[in-house]
Copies of this chain bind each other. A is one copy, B any other.
Amino acid sequence: MLTDSDSERLTAPSWSRRHLLDLDDFAASEIELILDTTDAMKEVLSREIPRVPALRGTTVVTLFYEASTRTRASFELAGKVLGADVINVAASASSVEKGEALLDTIRTIQAIGADVCVLRHNVSGAPYIAARESDFRVVNAGDGSHAHPTQALLDAYTLRVHLGDIRGRKIVIVGDIAHSRVARSNVWSLTALGAEVVVCGPPTLLPHGLDRLAPDAEERDFPPVRVEKHLDIAIEDADAVMALRLQKERQANGLLPSLREYSRLYQVNNDRLARAKPEALVLHPGPINEGVEISTEVAHGARSLVEEQVTNGVAVRMAVLYLLMRGEPPA
């Protein structure tokens, strides 16, 4: 559907997923298939008329229990570029008032005829319920502190554009690791792709017991990663640093001493970047608290990929919608 050519790949990589819920069980080859498909979608977006009818007739429902300008609009545009119809349901403002529980809303959306439901929910695991209780495809657009797979995929895509192969690269994730679905999904995808991942943050914001994880642990939240409490150490020779958004409400819980203290110890700034590789990249899922997680000069500097991440987000989401609906990459 994306090209005029009749030729098809003789050996198309296989795609067998019905849903995108988490990346914890994704093989490197599956992630790479999404990233390769993202390349094809970037080409579509570069056209003079960046629209294709690949998903014409498809109904995508975005069901957001948390507000998010960027993620919802990114999915909405991804669907529209591919010719799908997109129906937005802001659940916080509508169904919840009338006591419609998640399950009921899921069943309603399915019964209406949705093909894909893009679900953001404040409760970890909600997308699994949606996938289990419906026939449609589910894309997790962020659930509680559990996972945000399309964010991690756009991060991986953006890193791959700049670093080439991610294998063997040292990537530091810094911030509130314990509560971050972005961190969690990135750890899974980046380790699957062969990166050396280091997570870094204040002890109160690191997952309990993370540093006790053995490589062969049976039950674990994370794959084995190195944990480092000092950013100055973690960042040494890093190829990329990903700062996470700090939720200021953590202070109320006593988990965070002060923004000033946090910035002093964990802000990504030029001084700290001097310890990383010379061309080290800086990522952030946005929106940045400028001067807290990242210094203003770094946030707007040449190494910052923040806006490129957002741009790549549309193409990554196109790739995900395409693969889930068509079951194979574009020819």
Residues on A close to B: CB < 8 A? 45, 47-51, 56-57, 59, 61, 67-70, 72-74, 76-77, 80-81, 85, 87, 89-91, 93-95, 97-101, 104-105, 107-113, 248, 286-289, 307-311, 313-314
Contact = CB atoms under 8 A, between A and B. Distances in A.
Nearest to A45: B113
A113 B311 contact: yes
Contact of A100 (B105, B287, B313): B287
Contacts of A108: 69-70, 73, 286-287, 310
5 contacts: A69-B105, A73-B108, A99-B287, A111-B308, A112-B313
A244 B70 CA distance: 36
A47 B57 CA distance: 9
B95 A85 contact: no
Given A51-B56, A76-B87, A314 B113 contact: yes
Chain A interface, DSSP helix/strand/loop, else mixed? helix
A118 to B, nearest CB: 14
A50 B59 CA distance: 10
A67 B97 contact: yes
A81 B84 CA distance: 11
Contacts of A72: 94
For the complex of A and B, list the 6 residue pairs with the smallest distance between their C-beta atoms, beginning with the closest. Answer: A111-B310, A49-B57, A67-B94, A69-B95, A111-B307, A104-B287
Given A87-B76, A87-B77, A287-B100, A311 B70 contact: no
A57 B50 contact: yes
A319 to B, nearest CB: 15
A73 B88 CA distance: 8
B113 A287 contact: no
Given A112-B311, A113-B45, A73 B98 contact: no
Contacts of A309: 111
B67 A314 contact: no
Contacts of A105: 69
Among A59, A70, A95, the one with the most B-chain Cβ atoms within 10 Å of its Cβ is A70
B87 A61 contact: no
Contacts of A56: 49, 51
A87 B314 CA distance: 14
Nearest to A69: B95
Contacts of A98: 67-68, 287
A307 to B, nearest CB: 4
Contacts of A51: 56-57, 85
Among A47, A94, A99, A101, the one with the most B-chain Cβ atoms within 10 Å of its Cβ is A94
A112 B287 contact: no
Given A57-B49, A85-B77, A286-B104, A91 B111 contact: no
Given A95-B287, A99-B248, 12 more contacts: A47-B57, A49-B57, A50-B113, A67-B95, A67-B97, A67-B98, A68-B94, A69-B91, A70-B95, A70-B100, A98-B287, A111-B309
A85 B289 CA distance: 31
Contacts of A94: 67-69, 72
